[in-house]
Amino acid sequence: MHELSPMSPILILSIIALYFLMLVVVGRITSKGANNDDFFIGQRNSPWPVVAFGMIGASLSGVTFISVPGWVGTTQFSYMQMVLGYLVGYAFIAMVLMPLYYRLNLTSIYSYFEDRFGKVSYRTGAWFFLLSRTIGSAFRLYLVAGVLQLAVFDALGVPFVVTVIATILLIWIYTAEGGIKTIIWTDTLQTVFMLLAVVLTILAIGSELNLGLSELVATVRDSEYSRVFFFENGNGPKFFWKQFLGGAFIAVVMTGMDQDMMQKNLSCKNIGDAQKNMFSFSVVLVFVNLLFLSLGALLYVFAITRGIEIPTRTDDLYPLLATAGHLPLAIGVLFILGLIAAAYSSADSALAALTTSFCIDILEIRKRPKELQTTIRKRVHIMMSAVMVVVILIFRAVNDDSVISAVFTAAGYTYGPLLGLFAFGMMTKRAIRDNLTPIVCIASPIICYVLNLYSVELMNGYKFGFELLILNGALTFLGLFLISKKSELKLA
């Protein structure tokens, strides 16, 4: 079969414009009469099925959208080992963390640290979240903006700085008033487009290869890519227990101890609805990830069958097949929509969470005069949008993939101290020397980074994977113990 024409930049730009227009309309409808409580926690009135469905899109970034299918070529379905670990982590969130947050009536989950440890620990936890989420979200948006720049804006003569500013401005426009109240609904819309893109791409590949649904399933099952479990090499990154335990702790930290993800759960009417949301979201997410991996296997099978050269960067495989004329034009359109949906459903909620945390944790907005609170929140929202633009442009200026990836990895290390802080607070009755908390929280990621750098030499060939997060949290826990003393505090 002959190849189809690649997508034109004007067509892609039109798709993006229509998509954002839709989000702006949804934003206007949902933000009518919104106040700070709507922005921060949606008046605790969000319907849990909508929250659960929208969280799927928010949990999968634009990088995930194009990377997970690409990973299949080198790691097969081993990622599912981590996804199964997620289930354990999400159960812990639903049964342990969320009841704590609701009982304390928290808006920012880091407020817990002030009651348990003191103000310095509270601010330390909040700053670690702000740093992690700003760098992580900017990194993901930088990569997606780079794809769109090459596919669209270079051909139109639009500079990268304009692309980035316009992107963040559009996100700011539809989230500025409603915040989390709006994001609950825009994330739902974006999840629909993301899943449509994946499902219809799978069906299109089946059509191109003359395979029915049952034959597609058999093709994935019988391919070299479909192996899930790896038990034979304890030093390797695909080893089951590394992935499974890493997945469990990543879920706990990057969902249950992350203001971005928990803000949606805290917008539910009560703890019962929030738990329904978490359990249903976790089950659906298993099938969604299996769908992404199946797409990856089929992309490789399709490319090999058609004699298409696999890109050196496997992240480029899905974009190449979808937009360069190898699949029908409609698939290219859906790919662009899915990519944007995955990227911006995580970016918009991150922007709202950063604004919430800075207002509540750093500026203590609730202590300010009532008439000034909305003004402060709006200014912080603009400031966080500007910070995101600046960080993305710094990534662009550095223009060194190894340096940027190292910065992103370092940001990932900063979730370890949050794990250690929450664990120490909930598992012990000991008080800590509050002013020493920043030293412990800074030292733990540095030690982990050095160990990761030299683990092969120091640990007989052992390579760290996602279990590094567990070590990071354990070191923080140990450090907090060393600066602690016995107390009559009750367990939270």
pLDDT tens for the chain, 492 residues: list them.
Answer: 334 446 677 777 888 888 888 888 887 887 776 677 667 766 677 788 888 887 877 777 666 777 788 888 888 898 899 999 999 999 999 999 999 999 988 888 999 999 899 999 999 999 999 988 888 888 878 877 877 787 778 878 889 899 889 888 888 887 777 777 777 888 888 888 888 888 999 999 999 989 888 999 999 999 989 898 988 877 777 888 888 988 898 889 888 888 878 888 888 888 999 899 899 989 998 999 999 999 999 999 999 998 888 888 787 888 888 877 788 888 888 888 888 877 777 777 788 889 988 998 998 888 888 878 888 988 999 999 999 999 989 888 876 655 555 655 666 688 889 999 999 999 998 999 999 999 999 999 999 888 888 887 888 777 777 778 888 999 999 999 999 987 655 444
CA 66-69-72 angle, 5° bins: 140
Q: Where are the alpha helices (DSSP H) in 44-118?
A: 48-59, 62-75, 79-92, 98-103, 111-116
3-state helix, strand, coil in the chain (%, to 5): 75, 0, 20
> What is the per-residue burial (b if ≥16 Cβ within 10 Å, else e) of 412-449?
bbbbbbbbbbbbbbeebeebbbbebbbebbeebbebbb
Alpha-carbon distance 394 to 388, whole Å? 10
Fold designation for 9-417: Sodium/glucose cotransporter (1.20.1730)
Q: Collect all residues with Cβ–Cβ distance below 8 Å to 169 and sequence separation of at least 6.
A: 385
Look at the alpha carbons of 440, 357, 145, 254 in this order and tell me if their dihedral is positive or negative.
positive
